[in-house]
Structure 1
Amino acid sequence: MVDVRAVWLTEFGDPGVLRLGDAPDPVPGPGEVLVAVAFANTTFVETQLRAGGTVPYRLQPPVIPGNGVGGVVLAAGPGVDGDLVGRRVVTATGGSGAYAERVVVPADVPFVVPEGLGLDDAVALLADGRTAKALVRTAEVGPGDRVLVEAAAGGVGSLLVQLASQAGATVVAAAGGPRKVAVAQDLGADRAVDYSAPDWADEVGEVDVVFDGVGGDLGATAFSLLRRGGRFVAYGLASGSWAPVPEARGISVHRGL
């Protein structure tokens, strides 16, 4: 069997711990398909994992990291309809294994990429897109809500701004620095504030929903802006820790990706 090239995480640290090496050429089993990888997605959480920081899940080196790829289906395993063979798809790999030339995944996992959409763009939307959609559903965002989106110029945050706006909410976008604030404003936020300014919370005012992708003290400050009956949805910890929010009567708190 011929090996394929892959990128291995050999230990936790800076990007230099990622090493090019070989891995067994995967073969699709029953209910699986084989994908030739053209693009592998790298999320912010994966860079935290590589560095050995605080992340919602952990892999133990040596391991092939990565959880999202885009490519072409090369073969289908026993019992799988061959319609996917030759199609361009994006797919998750189950938490690891994406940094490789070929991957095997369950046949019901890939999304077919429509014509006119680049594989690189589709892969970029894979993780952040499904996260953003799930967050908006969890928070039950709708007309009349005033929504605060932190890290509003980031991958998930930029999508949350647009989805919440489409749902009929008034969106306040918070980002760090004038350039990112301008990006958030261009995405359709009703108001955009710079959370590196000391009075940013006063500019935001009371809100019904907080999407917290930062955590730490900034997330805790955002929590304090919630009205009674508000929803606090924490999906990331760019600061390195979850927001230390108290148990509050009448406020719903959700954590997770």
Structure 2
Amino acid sequence: MTVKAVAVQRFGDPGGLAVVDLPDPRPAAGEVVITTEAIGVGGVDALIRRGALAAYGFEAGHVLGGEVAGVVTALGTDVDESWEGARVWAPAGLGGGYAEQAVAPATVLVRLPPDVSPVDAVTVAGSGVVAHFGLRHARFATGESVLVRGAAGGIGVMAVQLAARDGTVAVTTSSPGRGARLRELGATEVLDRTGEGSPGHDVVIDVVAGEDLPSFLAKLNPNGRLVAVGAVAGPPPARLAAEMFAAFRKSLSFATFSADTVSTEDRRTVAAELLAAVGRGELDAVVHEVLPLAHATLAHRELDAGAVFGRIALVPV
């Protein structure tokens, strides 16, 4: 028996993605098989597909996909039988999710609340975990001002919603229409992509990075903290260090953040809390589009065009 999956046959543009047949996955000890009902499409998927993360050893044939939601349909040894048939969300690391079935360790599973759909789960949980711990990494405190750079993506819309609970939120985005939608999510100030006209923030959460990252240091208050939680535009330029030192008397901080540095149990706890908040109507799952798994190429073309607001989900059909 085989399952359908989407693999990178050639690194570069979205045309290098292809639907392939793979053997049915078999769970090892401590693992489960999830029959997927929704698959999250994230910025890191695009980076891997482009070849920007080649240093991690990705090879042709790599199956993309960092998170899935669905039903547990097979258990490996040493897995509690109560997981059989459970509706779950699970992170899939740096790959394996773009498939009709995915394997995950039982230790990472989060049960879905009854009123949370699989599409909503992959829209909120992974991005929300990064946003939550990114804000914590920035030592964000109640009453502070946050600027979210690249706020229209999955991580950005979650950072806006979470930060708005305790502080004021400015955002950068590409159009007035997107700005209006971000205001509905809690943003109080909308800026263009340069962030011009808005100095005086305690924290910058940056999903974009790239050549323009150093200019956002000038938008920080003394003792301000800029945390890069993504790099969709690539790494920052070498002049970043020089500009940090040029602002020496402001005692600014720059850091990167990856959820890989957070314990599995802490990630599970926060993901469960976020999904419960969606079920209670306290957080919005901002779904840009739901596409068939076989249309993953289209999803990546929309990512590359900067056309996505929130998250795209793929569904096996």
Query: What's the TM-score once normalised by structure 2's chain length?
Result: 0.74
Structure 2 gaps, min length 5:
259-317
Query: Residues 113 and 103 of structure 1: is their aligned pair in 2 closer, same or farther, counting only changes over 3 Å?
Result: same
The CA distance in 2 between the partners of 1:58 and 1:172, in whole Å, is 37
The CA distance in 2 between the partners of 1:225 and 1:106, in whole Å, is 42
Q: Say whether the 8 Å CA contact 1:215–1:241 is kept in structure 2.
A: yes
Q: Say whether the 8 Å CA contact 2:211–2:235 is kept in structure 1.
A: no
Query: In the alignment, residue 139 of structure 2 is paired with which amino acid?
Result: E
The CA distance in 2 between the partners of 1:95 and 1:52, in whole Å, is 13
The CA distance in 1 between the partners of 2:164 and 2:74, in whole Å, is 41
Cα distance per residue 1:92-139 (max 9 Å; x no partner): 122111112212211111111111111011011132111111111111
Query: In the alignment, residue 16 of structure 1 is paired with which amino acid?
Result: G
The CA distance in 1 between the partners of 2:55 and 2:227, in whole Å, is 15
Q: Say whether the 8 Å CA contact 2:145–2:203 is kept in structure 1.
A: yes
The CA distance in 1 between the partners of 2:218 and 2:240, in whole Å, is 9
Show the counterpart of 1:192: 190
Show the counterpart of 1:204: 198
Query: In the alignment, residue 153 of structure 1 is paired with which amino acid?
Result: A
Query: Residues 256 and 45 of structure 1: is their aligned pair in 2 closer, same or farther, counting only changes over 3 Å?
Result: same
Structure 1 gaps, min length 5:
none
Asked if residue 222 in structure 1 is aligned to residue 221 in structure 2, the reply is no
Q: Say whether the 8 Å CA contact 1:173–1:185 is kept in structure 2.
A: no
Q: Say whether the 8 Å CA contact 2:199–2:221 is kept in structure 1.
A: no
Query: Residues 209 and 225 of structure 1: is their aligned pair in 2 closer, same or farther, counting only changes over 3 Å?
Result: same
The CA distance in 2 between the partners of 1:73 and 1:207, in whole Å, is 44
Q: Say whether the 8 Å CA contact 1:49–1:58 is kept in structure 2.
A: no
Show the counterpart of 2:22: 23
Secondary structure of the equivalent of 1:204?
coil
Q: Tell me by how many angstroms 1:55 deviates.
A: 8.1
The CA distance in 1 between the partners of 2:108 and 2:222, in whole Å, is 39
The CA distance in 2 between the partners of 1:236 and 1:56, in whole Å, is 17
The CA distance in 1 between the partners of 2:71 and 2:255, in whole Å, is 36
Show the counterpart of 1:175: 173
Q: Say whether the 8 Å CA contact 2:199–2:218 is kept in structure 1.
A: no
Query: Residues 57 and 206 of structure 1: is their aligned pair in 2 closer, same or farther, counting only changes over 3 Å?
Result: farther
Q: Tell me by how many angstroms 1:72 deviates.
A: 0.3
Q: Tell me by how many angstroms 1:147 deviates.
A: 1.2
Cα distance per residue 1:49-105 (max 9 Å; x no partner): 212236895622121121111110012211211111111111112211111221221
Q: Say whether the 8 Å CA contact 2:66–2:93 is kept in structure 1.
A: yes
Query: Residues 123 and 55 of structure 1: is their aligned pair in 2 closer, same or farther, counting only changes over 3 Å?
Result: farther
The CA distance in 2 between the partners of 1:100 and 1:186, in whole Å, is 34
Higher helix share: 2
Show the counterpart of 2:310: none
The CA distance in 2 between the partners of 1:225 and 1:41, in whole Å, is 32
Show the counterpart of 1:153: 152
Q: Tell me by how many angstroms 1:256 deviates.
A: 3.4
Cα distance per residue 1:177-223 (max 9 Å; x no partner): 21122122221112112235xxx42x212111111112234322111
- Of the three residues 225, 240, 245, the one matched with 1:245 is 240
Q: Say whether the 8 Å CA contact 1:68–1:90 is kept in structure 2.
A: yes
Query: Residues 235 and 117 of structure 1: is their aligned pair in 2 closer, same or farther, counting only changes over 3 Å?
Result: same
The CA distance in 1 between the partners of 2:224 and 2:21, in whole Å, is 50
Query: What's the TM-score once normalised by structure 1's chain length?
Result: 0.90
Show the counterpart of 1:70: 69
Asked if residue 83 in structure 1 is aligned to residue 66 in structure 2, the reply is no
Equivalent residue pairs, number: 251
Query: Residues 115 and 56 of structure 1: is their aligned pair in 2 closer, same or farther, counting only changes over 3 Å?
Result: farther
Query: In the alignment, residue 254 of structure 2 is paired with which amino acid?
Result: V
Query: In the alignment, residue 255 of structure 1 is paired with which amino acid?
Result: T
Asked if residue 111 in structure 1 is aligned to residue 110 in structure 2, the reply is yes
Secondary structure of the equivalent of 1:188?
coil
Identity %: 34
